Copies of this chain bind each other. A is one copy, B any other.
Amino acid sequence: MTPGEFDIIRTYFTRPIQHSKTTRLSVGDDAAILRTPAGYDMAIAVDTLNAGVHFPLDTNPDDIGWKSLAVNLSDMAAMGATPAWFTLALSLPTVDAAWLEAFANGLFDLADRYQLDLIGGDTTRGPLSISIQIGGWVKRDMYLSRRGAQPGDRIYVSGTLGDAALALQLITTANSAVTEIDQQAVRQRLNRPTPRIELGQALVGIASACIDISDGLAADLGHILASSGCGARLSLTALPCSAELLRIETEQLRQLDHVLYGGDDYELCFTVPSQRVATFEQQCRQQQWPVSAIGEITTEPGLWLVNTAGIAERIAPQGYQHFVTKD
């Protein structure tokens, strides 16, 4: 007999509750039972990865496991939450022991770094799809949201932008001029994004608004602007990109395209009120946080990019959106 769903759950996904004293009941019942620590609220997010849509079909299963959780952890980072647990809804076309083992390895590799418990899930037959729900803790009402940016706030992003989109492009369009080392570096950004959990937590009480960049800087900063009811001016020269991106993509306009519209980077974009900027930037230097100031929130609506000549050009707050096709 092929192993059934209960064998799969037992073999690959059942582990003793290791990390959290807040989990009262875990995998193996109709629901998990959780206790919220006194003085805390719970943050809840869900993200789905579908084969062929969110990752190329031939992606290594351990990378799929890692990334499925990473994109959810990134939502916790964007809220300034401390992740605590997750559930896994896994649809599989067939049972492939080697695939499942590698997937679970990648998943728990990342889970263990953040001391997360898998507290439940559902294993079903269907086209390959991974839907993870994550929960974490924030001190009462002390969370980051997309609202709250004010004119005059400085805009920051963590890390570098556009690498993941570039990696995806290299998969579909081979480029023999690219060195193996550079190719691996950007592919790592696509397949094994590092959620900015510690930075997100540190931003609580400092940032006025925060979002993680999953659809591209223009689109995700656009969400902050829409939620906060304001506009923004970005400085072209301040946009951070990696040495690999500059080497692989030498044409400036295409570099900019990746940086502004490329999704899947899972960096944070956030705003800091001007009166906190000096202290925050000092803290960044002390803690060696990889953040770049890229512009300023404005009263004037819209998203504007200021070039080296000081000329501002309006850019569309768009990025990857499921279903959108230009008819």
| Among A46-54, A57-65, A232-240, A275-283, the stretch in contact with B | A46-54
Q: What 7 new A-B contacts, CB under 8 Å, besides A32-B44, A46-B133?
A: A2-B324, A31-B43, A31-B136, A44-B120, A44-B133, A48-B89, A50-B91
A227 neighbours in B (Cβ, 8 Å) = 28-29
**B42 and A145 contacting across the interface, CB-CB below 8 Å:** no
Given A92-B323, A325-B1, A327-B2, also A79-B45 (CB < 8 A): no
Judge whether A254 is part of the interface by a CB distance below 8 angstroms.
Answer: no
Query: Interface size for chain A: under 10, 10 to 19, 20 to 34, or 35 or more residues?
Result: 35 or more
A180 neighbours in B (Cβ, 8 Å) = none
**A33 and B28 contacting across the interface, CB-CB below 8 Å:** no
Mark A298-327 against chain B: 1 for CB-CB distance below 8 A, else 0.
000000000000000000000001111111
**B75 and A30 contacting across the interface, CB-CB below 8 Å:** yes
Q: Which of A4, A6, A31, A48 has the most CB of B within 10 A?
A: A31
Judge whether A107 is part of the interface by a CB distance below 8 angstroms.
Answer: no
**B45 and A120 contacting across the interface, CB-CB below 8 Å:** yes
Which of A113-145 touch B at CB < 8 Å?
A: 119-127, 129, 131, 133-136, 138, 140-141, 143, 145
**B322 and A123 contacting across the interface, CB-CB below 8 Å:** yes
Judge whether A16 is part of the interface by a CB distance below 8 angstroms.
Answer: no
A89 neighbours in B (Cβ, 8 Å) = 46-48, 89, 131, 133
Copies in the complex: 2
Judge whether A212 is part of the interface by a CB distance below 8 angstroms.
Answer: yes
Given A87-B44, A89-B46, also A31-B81 (CB < 8 A): yes
Judge whether A5 is part of the interface by a CB distance below 8 angstroms.
Answer: yes
A92 to B127 CA separation, bound complex (whole angstroms)? 12
A19 neighbours in B (Cβ, 8 Å) = none
Which of A97-113 touch B at CB < 8 Å?
A: none
